[in-house]
A and B are shown apart, each in its own frame.
Chain A
Amino acid sequence: MRGEVAAKLAKLGTDEQRLLRPLVETSRGFYLVAGGLGVIALWGLFAYYLQVRYGLGRTGLNRPEYWGIYIIDFVFFIGISHAGTLISAILRVSKAEWRRAITRSAEFITVLVLGFGAIQPIVDLGRPDRLLNVIFHAQLRSPLLWDVISIGLYFTASTIYLYIPMIPDLAIIRDSGIKAPWLYRMLAAGYQDTPTQRARLERVIGVLAIAVIPIAVSVHTIIGWIFAMTLRPMWHSTIFGPYFVMGAIYSGIAAILIAMTILRRAYGLEQYFKEIHFDYMGRLLLLFSLLWFYFTFAEYLTAFYGGEPSEMRTFWAKVAGPFAIPFWTMVATCFVIPLALMSRPSMRTPRGTLIAGISVVIGMWLERFNIVVPTSVNPRWEMEAGGHYFPSWVELSIMAGTFAAFILLYMLATKFFPIISIWEIKEGREQSVREVSERVAGYLPEHAPVLAGD
């Protein structure tokens, strides 16, 4: 860090100093990790070039296994994207004060991972050059088109929802002059933190937080509907909309926990991501592991009890057939492990939640695999031979490249934007402590004097 920047930083308050340090100070480890991720991302890009040049034949896809890794990743990434916007909006609307340190890092996950999720179906297209036909020849009866609309809306809304609450922080950076003054002058949009501006900002955030919830719910519902609207065994299920939304939030919470643990260690944010935050997020994870079990059990029991032959072929392929390993690993990683860990208070620590979070992220990827592939390879018509699927190195490279590019972009974002909201922390310190005590007092009965003679 250069002397003048250090001097400028030293002039700021403690919160600003701590939270803006990553913007001006970059360790060697950061460059090493970023370089490694960059190489993987470029490798993925090269694999995609081969696929575009020679055709989707470079994948392991076939008939009837039409959808594979790309569609699994699509559902998975969009699921993770429910981390930020939805959780931050729900915590904001419900006035959960412990959210203050978490929301920003979560909202960044949403916006970045959403972009990478949205390109997956495009990577999956046989003719990506004709992508705009989706607009020119839009056919509104297709659930894919509903998806284009809802993801477009969600991306717009969550980007605004990330940006608006960041404006006061951008103004702080602008005023401090520690980094690229022209950039932050533009981004801060003339914000001066006057009482009027602050009041307007809070009102807009309040409206956005509410508006973004139904949009987020619609996104994963419609992704579930892409499958549910077909007549395929174990896809054609009314539970899919809510099941997908629940799974999305579950994987989102897990992703935030992983990000929080890494950020905490990398940037020394122990003062902000406290044990209590991991405890609370761990409880949320526990709740969702139970919900996940409830939904999954309901889905499989209904299929099993009905016993329709075409459904049962797919059912047994998952439970005790070629997909038994991914299926039972999913049950272990989505339910058994997080439940066992998170139901013990001693494990709701950064380390414990990290393990549970990684387990759930793996499990939720497997869940999408178990939805997409076993149904695909078991067509409804019994005379049709079953298919098989083994992803090619091209598919796996593109998948690795996407993960790497997302993490890289997230790392870069922490170098330009404070990953914890400075003004919201300060607001918490200066106002909310008092407001919350008043609010709690307001919940209680009036302290009426006892009448004589009672």
Chain B
Amino acid sequence: MTRWGMVIDLDRCTGCGACEVACKSENNVATVPPDQSDMGRTLAWMKVMTEVEGEFPDTSMRFVPRPCMHCDNPPCVRVCPVAATYINDEGVVGQIYPRCIGCRYCANACPYTVKYFNWFPPEWPESERAYLNPDVSVRSNGVIEKCTFCHHRLQAARETARAEDRQLREEDYQPACVEICPTRAIVFGDLDNPAHRVSQLRHDARATRMLEDLGTEPKVYYLQPRI
């Protein structure tokens, strides 16, 4: 069985934020006005976390791009009272927007804080409105949304492969953040397929997962910086 997963090489990440932007435009993530953003209501399915290490002047900046971890043992799925958040056969954790009642229990249960709530009806600036992605549904007011590993791209890739009567190739299905990354810090594929790069990289000595001791079995691996 396919298990979609990701490996992010923190040595390669420059913190440019291209993944954030690509994700936002690919997935019709709403733009939040500045006053709302100050309240902590920004939506960002992919977010480059930053951390300053050391004392001035010997400081360095650490960047950690954070998508949904797509846990194999997802705490958010267990607590949802209406099964609006689910994990599919290929390990992708998704959200059924028309079913979600907006109780935000999943958001509280997620140790990685990657579930986002629509506090108001979603808005876009006029200039962006014309470029909404028709493949991704626009969320309504009062529901939770989250990273889906650009699952709509998998559907499109499968259809193309079927039409061309061939197997799905590794490069056929790549999420927007992976595609855009200028330093190729993010690698995506089937964790269980030895031919895919992710399944080799996740056995790298530098590979770790976030909050691994919680037993959530995240499918996003991080290659720790060498220094």
Task: List residues of chain A with CB under 8 Å of any chain B CB.
Answer: 54-57, 60-67, 121, 124-128, 130-131, 133-134, 136-139, 141-145, 148, 226, 229-232, 376, 379-381, 383-384, 387-388
Contacts and interface: CB of A to CB of B under 8 A. Distances in A.
15 contacts: A55-B118, A55-B141, A55-B142, A57-B119, A126-B144, A130-B101, A134-B81, A134-B101, A137-B82, A139-B81, A142-B78, A144-B105, A226-B105, A231-B75, A380-B211
B49 A384 contact: yes
A230 B49 contact: no
B81 A381 contact: no
A383 B211 CA distance: 11
Interface in B93-134: 99-105, 107-109, 111-113, 116-121
A115 to B, nearest CB: 19
Contacts of A229: 78-79, 109
B61 interface: no
Given A55-B121, A127-B143, A384 B101 contact: no
Contacts of A141: 78-79
Given A63-B40, A121-B103, A131-B101, A138 B82 contact: yes
Interface string B71-100: 000010011111110000000000000011
B160 interface: no
A365 to B, nearest CB: 20
A139 B82 CA distance: 5
A137 B83 contact: yes
B150 interface: no
B88 to A, nearest CB: 16
A379 B82 contact: no
B41 interface: yes
A387 B36 contact: no
Nearest to B111: A380
Given A56-B119, A63-B113, A66-B117, A133 B142 contact: no
Contact of B101 (A127, A232, A376, A381): A127
Interface residues of B, dominant DSSP:
loop
A63 B45 CA distance: 13
B51 interface: yes
A57 B104 contact: no
A133 B81 CA distance: 9
A381 B113 contact: yes
B107 A125 contact: no
A125 B102 contact: yes
A142 B216 CA distance: 17
Interface string B37-78: 001111000000111000000000000101000000001001
A376 B111 CA distance: 11
Contacts of A60: 39
Contacts of A63: 40-42, 107, 113, 116-117
B107 A66 contact: yes
Given A63-B113, A125-B142, A55 B214 contact: no
A155 B55 CA distance: 58
Given A57-B41, A62-B40, A66-B108, A124 B103 contact: yes
Contacts of B141: 55, 126-127
Contacts of B120: 54-55, 57
Given A55-B142, A139-B81, A142-B80, 20 more contacts: A55-B141, A56-B117, A57-B41, A57-B119, A57-B120, A62-B39, A64-B40, A65-B40, A126-B101, A126-B103, A127-B141, A128-B101, A130-B82, A130-B102, A142-B81, A145-B81, A229-B109, A383-B49, A384-B49, A384-B113
Contact of A143 (B79, B84, B102, B112): B79
Nearest to A66: B104
Nearest to A148: B81
A229 B116 CA distance: 21
A57 B102 CA distance: 12
